[in-house]
């Protein structure tokens, strides 16, 4: 497989490192010519995960996304959701016809409130058999440090999903596959919202006891939304038959890609969404918190997107609604959490 990567942030960099260390040559888009020059000189991404050194013979860097797509048969998209549409608008629709796509996007495209696969289907005539996702629980910083991590790859064609996953498997990356394309993506979006909420709680000086209750309720909300949206993956405690190293996960919302990703994003100090929420809880305005961070906190925009999506789904989501009210309606965090407290079980 010939891989192309669109996106040069921390997550895109971590995935590129895995692929090149496994012997794959990749074409990689970085919108900054200056960053590309520095990359070639220093052999690392000058902006993200700078401790991760690359074998430059395995890299072809370009500031033109069209070049990257043209040289790849598998295109990995690792762009923050708010900027996906702008990046893809520079690519000829025809060149996407025979490609496979791996989404590493953990958000909703905000203008239309849709997932990436729906956008690609509507604008690039993509068949769902061409679409795959790669999700955690997996922080880019730990991948760069070669800490043992698990990646879940999702696609409707299980054998093709396993082939793609095999290119990422190594001594510190274990891979899992499943077929729940919509479920894993919505779970990835929701866990970012709940991590913002966990950060706000921490900033407001709530303790571990409250935080555990908040996250447990968030997990229940997530499962409830998935059920109401018609996604059957809320079964708990059933793993089914598995193969070592590379196995298929049955729909089980307590598995790593659902509950596991929620937990690490809510608790980890690497979590940008938790960090963003912590600033809000400590009294930062939304704008000042955004300026303070040099990375995108997907949970901010996702909270509004999911609020609009849930107008149709109509799931009970008091935690997500609380985060939305704080971030988008200016509700004081202290009052919002006081009103949330009696709703938690």
Q: Are 69 and 95 in contact (CB under 8 A)?
A: yes
Burial bucket for residue 331 (CB in 10 Å: 0-12, 13-18, 19+): middle
Amino acid 251: pLDDT: 56
| Average pLDDT of the residues of the chain | 91
Q: Determine the Cα–Cα distance for residues 133 and 152; give it in Å rounded to an integer.
A: 8
Tell whether omega for the bond before 137 is within 30 degrees of 0, i.e. cis: yes
Q: Determine the Cα–Cα distance for residues 320 and 145; give it in Å rounded to an integer.
A: 32
Q: Are 71 and 47 in contact (CB under 8 A)?
A: no
Q: Are 213 and 344 in contact (CB under 8 A)?
A: yes
109 Cβ contact partners less than 8 Å away, ≥ 6 residues apart: 81, 82, 84, 85, 115, 116, 119
Q: Specify the CATH number of the domain 183-343.
A: 1.10.1040.10
Amino acid 233: pLDDT: 55
Q: Determine the Cα–Cα distance for residues 187 and 229; give it in Å rounded to an integer.
A: 12
pLDDT by residue for the chain (345 residues), tens digit each? 999 999 999 999 999 999 999 999 999 999 889 999 999 999 999 889 988 999 999 999 999 999 999 999 999 999 999 999 999 998 988 888 889 999 999 889 998 999 999 999 998 889 999 999 999 888 888 988 899 999 999 999 999 999 999 999 999 999 999 999 999 999 999 999 999 999 999 999 999 999 999 999 999 999 999 989 887 655 554 444 444 344 454 556 778 899 999 999 999 988 999 999 999 999 999 999 998 887 778 999 999 999 999 999 999 999 999 999 999 999 999 999 999 999 999
Rg over CA atoms, the chain: 19
Nearest to 189, CA basis, from 88, 82, 285: 82
153: which 2 tokens?
């790859």
Amino acid 136: pLDDT: 87
pLDDT tens figures, 306-323: 999 999 999 999 999 999
| One CATH from 1.10.260.40, 3.30.1330.50, 1.10.10.60, 3.40.50.720 for 3-179 | 3.40.50.720
Amino acid 243: pLDDT: 44
Q: Are 92 and 123 in contact (CB under 8 A)?
A: no
pLDDT tens figures, 22-71: 999 999 999 889 999 999 999 999 889 988 999 999 999 999 999 999 99
E-only strand ranges, 7-148: 26-29, 59-62, 74-77, 100-103, 131-135
Amino acid 244: pLDDT: 39
Amino acid 113: pLDDT: 94
293 Cβ contact partners less than 8 Å away, ≥ 6 residues apart: 272, 275, 276, 279
60 Cβ contact partners less than 8 Å away, ≥ 6 residues apart: 25, 26, 27, 28, 71
Q: Are 144 and 119 in contact (CB under 8 A)?
A: no
Domain ranges in the chain?
Answer: 3-179, 183-343
77: which 2 tokens?
């998209």
Place of tokens 């990436």: 116
Amino acid 235: pLDDT: 54
CB atoms within 10 A of CB 322: 22
Q: Determine the Cα–Cα distance for residues 253 and 104; give it in Å rounded to an integer.
A: 20
Amino acid 139: pLDDT: 87
Amino acid 95: pLDDT: 86
169: which 2 tokens?
């498997």
Element (H, E) at 15: helix 10-21
**pTM of the full predicted structure?**
0.91
Place of tokens 């789904």: 313
């Amino acid at each position: 497989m010939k891989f192309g990567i669109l996106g040069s942030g921390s997550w895109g960099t971590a995935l590129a490192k895995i692929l090149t260390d496994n012997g794959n040559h990749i074409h990689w888009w970085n919108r900054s010519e200056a960053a590309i020059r520095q990359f070639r000189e220093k052999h690392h991404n000058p902006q993200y995960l700078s401790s991760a050194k690359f074998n430059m013979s395995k890299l072809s860097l370009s500031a033109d996304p069209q070049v990257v797509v043209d040289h790849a048969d598998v295109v990995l998209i690792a762009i923050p959701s708010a900027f996906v549409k702008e990046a893809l608008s520079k690519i000829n629709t025809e060149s996407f016809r025979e490609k496979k796509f791996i989404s590493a996007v953990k958000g909703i495209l905000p203008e239309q409130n849709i997932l990436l696969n729906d956008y690609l289907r509507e604008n690039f005539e993509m068949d769902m058999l061409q679409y795959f996702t790669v999700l955690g629980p997996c922080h880019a910083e730990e991948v760069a440090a070669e800490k043992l991590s698990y990646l879940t790859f999702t696609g409707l064609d299980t054998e093709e999903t396993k082939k793609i996953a095999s290119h990422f498997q190594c001594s510190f990356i274990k891979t899992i596959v499943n077929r729940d394309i919509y479920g894993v993506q919505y779970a990835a979006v929701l866990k970012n919202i709940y991590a913002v909420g966990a950060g706000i709680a921490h900033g407001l000086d709530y303790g571990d006891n409250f935080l555990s209750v908040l996250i447990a309720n968030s997990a229940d909300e997530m499962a409830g939304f998935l059920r109401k949206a018609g996604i059957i993956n809320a079964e708990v405690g059933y793993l089914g038959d598995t193969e070592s190293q590379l196995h298929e996960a049955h729909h089980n919302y307590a598995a790593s890609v659902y509950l596991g990703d929620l937990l690490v994003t809510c608790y980890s100090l690497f979590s940008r969404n938790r960090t963003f929420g912590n600033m809000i809880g400590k009294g930062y305005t939304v704008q000042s918190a955004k300026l303070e961070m040099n990375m995108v906190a997907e949970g901010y925009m996702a909270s509004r997107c999911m609020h609009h999506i849930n107008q149709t789904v109509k799931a009970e989501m008091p935690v997500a609604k609380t985060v939305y009210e704080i971030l988008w309606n200016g509700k004081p965090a202290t009052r919002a959490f006081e009103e949330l407290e009696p709703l938690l079980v």
